C-alpha cells in the first residue's frame, strides 16, 4: 500500500521581498538587532507554507535568506523558491509603466540562475555600444532603469540551459496582470497586440480574483481568430517591509477607496505538494478550485470531526503503526492480497464495532480472520484530535 498523504491545499505566497532587496527595501530594525532574526521568525510563524523570495534582476537576497533561515530553523517544513523580478521594455497601461515579469525557478535549476543573469542582456548599452548584462548592475539607479526584452530572456535561457531544453522545466514566467501589468488601454490597438504577445509568453499571472475569469477566456486575444489556452492567476503580497509582512502575509486586505471596498491583497491556495512540479500543476488545471484558488477560506474545507486524519495500529505486523490520510479524496493502492479491503474493514470496525461485525465476519477470509480471533487493535483519529479509542 502507498501511505503518502497526497496533495493538500496550502497557502502559497510567490511574491515576497526580503531584507536587502535591490529596490524599496523597507526592512528596518533597532540598532544592534539582526534584521534576519525578525524576518525569519515572521516567515516561520506564518500560516503561509510556500514562499517565493523575490528580488530585482538578482539572486543575492535569495541566497542570503536561505543561509540565514537554515541557521535559525534547520528543521522547518517551509518551502522556498527563487523569484527574479524583471521589467520588460514594453508598456501597455495608461501610466506607461513597464510590464513586470517574475521568473520562478525550479530549485534544481536555481544554481544556474546566476549564469542565466550573466547571459541576460539589458536594453541599455555601454559606452562601447555593447549590451550590458544583468550581472553588471550595481547601483540603485541601475536597477531602477534596467529593462529586458522577451527575446533577450529566450536567448539567455537557451545559452544557459541549452537549445533543446524546455523552459517550464527550469522556470515559470509569472506576469503582472494589474498596475505594472499587461492590461492595455482600451482602443490602443498596438498596445493590445503587445499585451497579447506577452500573454502568450507567460505561464501564470499575478493578480487577484477579479482577473481570473479574463485569463480563463480562450478568446481573450485582440485577434478573434486566434485562441489561447486558459491560464491561472495567483495573488502575492509583494512585501517590502515588516509592516507589509504583518499586514499582508497570508491575509486578505480590503481598503475603502472612493466609497468602494477594494481587495488590494489576497490569499492564494494551491492544492499540490510543495514542490516545483506541484506548482506546475496549476498550469494544467487553472480553473479555480481545481489546483489554485484565491480567497480567504481553504477550498473544500470540512469540519474537523468529518475528517479522518490518521489510523493507528497496535499489535500488527500487517500494517504500519500509523497511516495518514488526505483531507479530501484518498486512494488505497496495492496489488491483490496486500490488505486494501482489510484496511477498510478495520476502519469500519474502529468507528462502529457492532455495525461492522453485523456486515462482515472479519477483516479477511477464513475463520482465523473473524473479529473474535483478531488481536490487532485499530484506532481512528479525527481531524479534531479525538480518537475512536477515547470512547473505549
Say if residue 223 is in the same domain as residue 183.
yes
The reply to whether 209 and 351 lie within a common domain is no
Report pLDDT for 5. Answer: 60
- Residue 63 covered by a domain: yes
Query: pLDDT digit string (tens) for 109-133?
Result: 999 999 999 999 999 877 777 888 9
With b for 16 or more beta-carbon neighbours within 10 A and e for fewer, the 151-184 pattern comes to ebbeebbeebbeeeeeeeebbbbbbbbeebbbbb
For 361-372, the pLDDT digits (tens) are 988 888 888 898
Looking at the fold, whether 276 and 355 belong to one and the same domain comes out as no
Asked whether residue 368 is assigned to any structural domain, the reply reads: yes
Distance CA 62, CA 39 (A): 13
The answer to whether residues 238 and 314 belong to one domain is no
End of a domain among 261, 294, 327? 294
Question: Own/partner pairs for 249-255, CB < 8 Å, 24+ apart?
Answer: 249/13, 249/16, 249/42, 249/43, 249/46, 249/48, 250/11, 250/13, 250/46, 250/47, 250/48, 252/295, 252/296
- Residue 104: pLDDT over 70: yes
8-state DSSP, 201: H
Strand-pair category, 121-125 with 98-105? unpaired
Judged against a pLDDT cut of 80, whether residue 248 lies above it is answered with yes
| DSSP 3-state of 81 | strand
DSSP 3-state of 159? helix
Give φ, ψ of 260 to 5 degrees. Answer: -115, 140
Of the candidates 2, 83, 79, 68, which has an alpha carbon nearest to the alpha carbon of residue 38?
A: 68
Q: Is residue 4 part of a domain?
A: no
CA 348/CA 342 separation, integer angstroms = 10
SS3 309: strand
* Percentage of the chain exceeding pLDDT 90: 60
Average pLDDT over residues 262-267: 93
State the first-to-last Cα distance of the chain, in angstroms, to the nearest integer.
Answer: 28
Indicate if the pLDDT at residue 389 is higher than 80.
Answer: no
Q: Which range (90-94, 348-352, 375-379) has the least confidence?
A: 90-94
Domain boundary among 294, 326, 358: 294
Instruction: Between 3 and 232, name the one with better pLDDT.
Output: 232
Burial of 255 (0-12, 13-18, 19+ CB in 10 A): exposed
Same domain, 220 and 312: no
Name residues whose C-beta falls within 8 Å of residue 265's C-beta, 6 or more positions apart in sequence.
Answer: 235, 237, 238, 247, 248, 251, 252, 253
Rounded (5°) CA angle 288-202-25: 90
42: domain CATH number is 3.20.20
In a domain, 259, yes or no: yes
Whole domain around residue 316: which residue ranges?
304-391
Domain count, the chain: 2
Question: Are 177 and 319 found together in one domain?
Answer: no
Within a domain: residue 299? no
Mean model confidence pLDDT for the chain: 90
Residue 283, φ and ψ in degrees, nearest 5 = -65, -40
The reported pLDDT for the residue numbered 382 is 86
Distance of alpha carbon 63 from alpha carbon 117, whole angstroms: 15
| 163-218 confidence digits (pLDDT tens) | 999 999 999 999 999 876 666 555 555 678 888 999 999 999 999 999 999 999 99
Domain match, 350 and 277 both:
no
DSSP one-letter string for 213-259:
HHHH-TT-SSSTT-------EE----B-SHHHHHHHTT--EEEEETT
CA distance linking residue 68 with residue 34, whole number of Å: 10
The pLDDT of residue 272: 94
- Number of Cβ within 10 Å of residue 43's Cβ equals 23
In a domain, 2, yes or no: no
CA 204-210-214 angle, 5° bins: 60
Domain-located, residue 3: no
349 and 263 in a single domain? The answer is no
Q: Of 6-15, 210-219, 286-295, 328-337, which gets the smallest average pLDDT?
A: 328-337
At which of 250, 267, 294 does a domain end?
A: 294
Average pLDDT, integer, range 34-51:
98
Q: Are residues 200 and 315 in the same domain?
A: no
Rounded CA-CA distance 311/350 in Å is: 9
The answer on pLDDT for 1 being more than 50 is no
Q: Are 389 and 322 a contacting pair, CB within 8 Å?
A: no
Torsions phi, psi for 359 (to 5 deg): -85, -25
User: Do 228 and 358 share a domain, yes or no?
Assistant: no
Mean pLDDT of 78-106: 90
Do residues 93 and 241 both lie within one domain? Answer: yes
Judgement on whether residues 141 and 193 belong to the same structural domain of the protein: yes
**How many of the other CB atoms lie within 10 Å of CB of 225?**
6
Amino acid at each position: 500500500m502507498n501511505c503518502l498523504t497526497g496533495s493538500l491545499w496550502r497557502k502559497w505566497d510567490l511574491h515576497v521581498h526580503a531584507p536587502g532587496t535591490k529596490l524599496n527595501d523597507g526592512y528596518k530594525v533597532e540598532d544592534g538587532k539582526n534584521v534576519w532574526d525578525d524576518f525569519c521568525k515572521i516567515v516561520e510563524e506564518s500560516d503561509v507554507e510556500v514562499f517565493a523570495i523575490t528580488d530585482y534582476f538578482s539572486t543575492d537576497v535569495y541566497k542570503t535568506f536561505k543561509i540565514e533561515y537554515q541557521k535559525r530553523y534547520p528543521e522547518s517544513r517551509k518551502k522556498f523558491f527563487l523569484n527574479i523580478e524583471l521589467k520588460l521594455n514594453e508598456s501597455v497601461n495608461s501610466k506607461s509603466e513597464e510590464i513586470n515579469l517574475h521568473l520562478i525557478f525550479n530549485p534544481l535549476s536555481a544554481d544556474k540562475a546566476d549564469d542565466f543573469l550573466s547571459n541576460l542582456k539589458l536594453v541599455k548599452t555601454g559606452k562601447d555600444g555593447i549590451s550590458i548584462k544583468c550581472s553588471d548592475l550595481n547601483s540603485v539607479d541601475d536597477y531602477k532603469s534596467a529593462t529586458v526584452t522577451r527575446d533577450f530572456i529566450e536567448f539567455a535561457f537557451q545559452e544557459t540551459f541549452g537549445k533543446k531544453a524546455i523552459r517550464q522545466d527550469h522556470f515559470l514566467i509569472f506576469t503582472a496582470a494589474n498596475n505594472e501589468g499587461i492590461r492595455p488601454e482600451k482602443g490602443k490597438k498596438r498596445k493590445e497586440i503587445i499585451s497579447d504577445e506577452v500573454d502568450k509568453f507567460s505561464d501564470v499571472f499575478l493578480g487577484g480574483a477579479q482577473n481570473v475569469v479574463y485569463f480563463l477566456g480562450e478568446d481573450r486575444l485582440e485577434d478573434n481568430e486566434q485562441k489561447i489556452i486558459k491560464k491561472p492567476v495567483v495573488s502575492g503580497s509583494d512585501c517590502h517591509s515588516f509592516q507589509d509582512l504583518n499586514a499582508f502575509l497570508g491575509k486578505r486586505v480590503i481598503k475603502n477607496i472612493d466609497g468602494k471596498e477594494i481587495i488590494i491583497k489576497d490569499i492564494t491556495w494551491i492544492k499540490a505538494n510543495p514542490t516545483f512540479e506541484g506548482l506546475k500543476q496549476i498550469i494544467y488545471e487553472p480553473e479555480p478550485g481545481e489546483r489554485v484558488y484565491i480567497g480567504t477560506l481553504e477550498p473544500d474545507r470540512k469540519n474537523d470531526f468529518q475528517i479522518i486524519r490518521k489510523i493507528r495500529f497496535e499489535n500488527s505486523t500487517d500494517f504500519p503503526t500509523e497511516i495518514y490520510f488526505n483531507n479530501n479524496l484518498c486512494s488505497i493502492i496495492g496489488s491483490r492480497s496486500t490488505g486494501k479491503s482489510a484496511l477498510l474493514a478495520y476502519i469500519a470496525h474502529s468507528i462502529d464495532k457492532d455495525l461492522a461485525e453485523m456486515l462482515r465476519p472479519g477483516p479477511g477470509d477464513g475463520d482465523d480472520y473473524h473479529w473474535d480471533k483478531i488481536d490487532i487493535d485499530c484506532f481512528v483519529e479525527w481531524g479534531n484530535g479525538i480518537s475512536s479509542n477515547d470512547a473505549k
